[in-house]
Amino acid sequence: IKLERSLRKALEREEFVLYYQPQVSAADGTAGGAEALIRWVHDGRFVSPGDFIPVAEETGLIVPIGDWVMRTACRQAKLWQDAGMPQMKMGINVSPVQLQQDDFVETVTRILSETGFQPHLLVLEITEGIAIRDIQDTVDKLVALKAMGIRISMDDFGTGYSSLGFLQTFKVDELKIAQTFISHIAEKDDHAQIVKAIVAMAHSLELDVIAEGVETREQFAIMRELQCDWIQGYYFCKPMPSEEFERYLDERG
């Protein structure tokens, strides 16, 4: 309850910040995109999104918070473009609660027009949680967003019951292999076999594949060998504030 009360005030008190983590091409190491990840600085401490996102979802606060995330990330990405930085996609985590809003498509449209960010560079990361409500309604919204050029990404693929049927129903453009597969890929051959199968299937459906949570050179080498397209993880760098992200891009391109 105390957390809820603080969370209600967090937006007006400007306590949220976005961190950005690059998504690096497995082939040549250049950054082709970034994922925006929210951070809450409350009473001088970082509160983990794992702790407050569920509360935000239960209370509906995720709707204004999610709008803020999308607007801030699109605005930042547009600033980077205008400053002459290499063109990059921007990935945003979208809660099932946001997608359930009747005006979700209008909200995205409005934010794109306010910020001037191009739809084909915006990636909406969704999770299997979107399947719990009205599936047809969700599919209709995703179709409308895709018609605008926006990309849809299946986050945490391979966990829970997210699966092949999901990819087909929601017509995603890319999938992100859950960290749990990557973290054991060097020790457990069955994990490597599963990842190999996921990549092959994704490519036959013409989806891009991102490996999440790559932490070591060995994991990177394996994912590269398995033809994964993009790598995200501490091996390259942790999520960082915008100024640090700019420096990273300056140095590595």
Residue of the chain from 26, 34, 69, 121 that contacts ligand G (CB under 6 A): 69
Residue 35 binding Na ion, by CB under 5 A: no
Are residues 209 and 181 in contact, defined by beta-carbon separation less than 8 angstroms? no
Amino acid at 75: R
Contacts of 14 (CB under 8 A, 6+ apart): none
Please give the residues from 14 up to 33 whose contact with ligand G meets the rule CB under 6 A: 21
Q: How far is the CB of 208 from ligand G (least distance, A)?
A: 15
Beta carbon nearer to Na ion, 56 or 112:
56
CA distances from 239 to 6, 34, 156, 208 (A): 24, 9, 17, 21
Are residues 38 and 69 in contact, defined by beta-carbon separation less than 8 angstroms? yes
Residue 128 binding Na ion, by CB under 5 A: no
Please give the residues from 152 up to 181 whose contact with Na ion meets the rule CB under 5 A: 155-156
Residue 48 binding ligand G, by CB under 6 A: yes
Q: Which stretch binds ligand G (CB under 6 A): 141-149, 158-166, 199-207, 231-239?
A: 231-239
Residue 155 binding ligand G, by CB under 6 A: yes
Pick from Mn ion, ligand G, Na ion, none: which does 37 bind, CB < 5 to 8 A by kind? Answer: ligand G
Residue of the chain from 156, 174, 208, 229 that contacts ligand G (CB under 6 A): 156
Residue 93 binding Mn ion, by CB under 5 A: yes
Residue of the chain from 128, 155, 174, 208 that contacts Mn ion (CB under 5 A): 155
Q: Which stretch binds ligand G (CB under 6 A): 5-13, 48-56, 157-165, 201-209?
A: 48-56
Q: Which stretch binds ligand G (CB under 6 A): 45-53, 99-107, 188-196, 203-211?
A: 45-53
Q: Which stretch binds Mn ion (CB under 5 A): 7-15, 140-148, 153-161, 218-226?
A: 153-161
Residue 213 binding ligand G, by CB under 6 A: yes
Q: What is the 3-state secondary structure (H, E, C) of the chain?
A: CHHHHHHHHHCCCCCEEEEEEEEEECCCCCEEEEEEEEEEEECCEEECHHHHHHHHHHHCCHHHHHHHHHHHHHHHHHHHHHCCCCCCEEEEECCHHHHCCCCHHHHHHHHHHHHCCCHHHEEEEECHHHHHCCHHHHHHHHHHHHHCCCEEEEEEECCCCCCHHHHHHHCCCEEEECHHHHHCCCCCHHHHHHHHHHHHHHHHCCCEEEEECCCCHHHHHHHHHCCCCEEECCCCCCCECHHHHHHHHHHHC
Binding site for Mn ion (CB under 5 A): 93, 125, 155
Binding site for ligand G (CB under 6 A): 21, 37-38, 48-50, 53, 66, 69, 93, 95, 155-156, 212-215, 232-234, 239
Binding site for Na ion (CB under 5 A): 155-156, 212
